[in-house]
Amino acid sequence: MKYLIIGNSAAAIGAAEAIRKNDKGNPVIIISDEPHRVYSRPLISYLLAGLVTEDRMYYRDENFYKDNNIETIFDKRVTGVDVKKRQALLEDKKRIDYDRLLIATGGTPFVPPIKGKERKNVYTFTKWKDAENIIKLTTTPPFTKEGRGGIKKAVVIGAGMIGIKAVEGLHAVGVDVTVVELASEVLSRALDKDASRIVQRRMEDAGIEVITSNEVIEITGRGDLASGVVLRDKKKIKCDLVIIAIGVIPNTGFLKESGIKINRGIVVDEKMETNIKGVYAAGDVAEALNIITGEKMPIPIWPLAQRQGAIAGDNMSGGDSVYKGGFPMNSIEFPGVPTISMGITDPRGEGYESFIKNDSANGNYKRIILKDNKIVGAILVGDDIDRAGILTGLIKEQTPVTAFKDKLLDRNFGFVHLPKDLRKEKLEKMV
């Protein structure tokens, strides 16, 4: 039995660890197109901001692969998978055999066909390399009192999670940032309008220019160097750096001819197995169940990637685990406004019930969205996020909240508000 894992992030590591729980001996190979041992991609904004040092980027310690007897092939791109011969093809034409394959290649930044996107100083922002490049620019002399590098002005295209992260990182090192968002609000997919406005106002208070309902149609420049952008309304913004952070799409390009079924992402069953026996997919690349909507879709978030990976790994190595599904959730703090959102945050259609506590003057907002007396979504902005996880639990377990729904918005909402039996079940039994 030979296990091959393409990818080296949350899902890949989750899988490798799960495999090693069941199977200590057989070879496990991890292939990554990056030169690094496993690190945390979400931390690249922290790296950019100078909040973490490089040694804190790593998700597992130095000896992880050795301790787990995992073979690694780094800095090599997989160009295809031959499911008949059970081989993965590398860019250097090498072929790697496998008996069980996990595709955990994550997402790849979506770059729309903007004129001038190939100019230098235009980056995406998902990998260590991206952060590294940008850090180089921001730290290139001359140093100034305000900032620490040559880059003074950046335009970030997209105000979703990644865009905001990029803004956060750049802002922290003193770069003047303008963010341009097509939707009418920042974080429009994670928050509702009211919550978005709180975040947006805080961003603006911090000196970030936020342009919404607009888009960059051209990246202009001198030579091959970007020096500005042109917006749809012809407005021009000068800048030394452009970051395209519109979103990520499943990284499935190399599988085109493999016969592995791909919809929006790689189609998997509840065991994370694809249509090809022995081939599994997990993480941002896979299209798994959203338990709230009942649809299958890629939900590119870390916790689900980890879990899907672990489930795939277990099933690959003889286990019998089922992925019960997940739902989107995110935690982001910018700037100083902690924000957690989960599930359906901007309900459209019939049958939803919302409980809202809007204290936007103080930057606090809480909204809980129910359907059929079950929580399907929540937005928490501001100081009252500490017990957000309880809501996550209630969503996950689809707990009917009829008996205590009037308490959901309470700052002190907790187990004491649950029916006694449920509370005792949760707190007095082993989990």
Partner 1 sequence: MKIVYPKEEVCMACRLCEVACITEHSRSKDTIKAYKKEKPAPLSRTLVEEIFPGLSVSVNCRHCSDAPCIEACITGAMHRKPDGRVVVNEYKCVGCWMCVMACPFGAIKRNQYKIEGQGARGKGQGLKIKLSSKCDLCPDRSIPACVEACPNRVMAYEERN
Binding site for partner 1 (CB under 8 A): 10, 14, 40, 42-43, 46, 49-52, 56, 58-60, 148, 172-174, 302-303, 306-307, 310, 329-331, 333, 338, 340, 342, 385-390, 392-394, 396-397, 412, 414-417, 423-424, 426-431
At closest approach, how far in Å is the CB of 395 from partner 1? 9
DSSP 115-152: BTTTSBTEEE-SSHHHHHHHHHHHHSSPP-SS-SSS--
At closest approach, how far in Å is the CB of 387 from partner 1? 3
3-state DSSP percent of the chain in helix, strand and coil, to 5: 25, 30, 45
CA distance between the termini of the chain: 33
At closest approach, how far in Å is the CB of 299 from partner 1? 13
Give the max Cα distance, the chain: 70
- CB 83, CB 279: distance < 8 Å: yes
The closest of 194, 150, 153 to 170, measured between CA atoms, is 153
At closest approach, how far in Å is the CB of 134 from partner 1? 14
At closest approach, how far in Å is the CB of 131 from partner 1? 13
At closest approach, how far in Å is the CB of 330 from partner 1? 8
SS (HEC) of 71-91? EEECCCCEEEEECCCCEEEEC
User: What type of residue is 249?
Assistant: I
Task: CB nearer to partner 1: give 152 or 387.
Answer: 387
At closest approach, how far in Å is the CB of 415 from partner 1? 6
At closest approach, how far in Å is the CB of 151 from partner 1? 14
Task: CB nearer to partner 1: give 253 or 389.
Answer: 389
At closest approach, how far in Å is the CB of 430 from partner 1? 5
At closest approach, how far in Å is the CB of 58 from partner 1? 7
Q: What angle do CA 269, 275, 279 make, to 5 degrees?
A: 90
Task: CB nearer to partner 1: give 81 or 390.
Answer: 390
Task: CB nearer to partner 1: give 318 or 414.
Answer: 414
Task: CB nearer to partner 1: give 229 or 329.
Answer: 329
Task: CB nearer to partner 1: give 242 or 385.
Answer: 385
The number of CA neighbours under 13 Å toward the Cβ of 200 is 22
Task: CB nearer to partner 1: give 157 or 378.
Answer: 378
Task: CB nearer to partner 1: give 227 or 308.
Answer: 308
182-194 burial, b for 16+ CB within 10 Å, e for fewer? bbebbbbebbbee
Task: CB nearer to partner 1: give 361 or 431.
Answer: 431
Task: CB nearer to partner 1: give 47 or 89.
Answer: 47
Q: Which two tokens stand for residue 169?
A: 């990182």
Q: Which two tokens stand for residue 259?
A: 């016969």
Orientation of helix 302-316 relative to helix 10-22, angle to 10°: 30
User: What type of residue is 274?
Assistant: T
DSSP 291-348: TTT--EE----HHHHHHHHHHHHHHHTT-------B--EEEEE-SS-EEEEEE-SS--
Instruction: Give the 3-state secondary structure of residue 197.
Output: helix
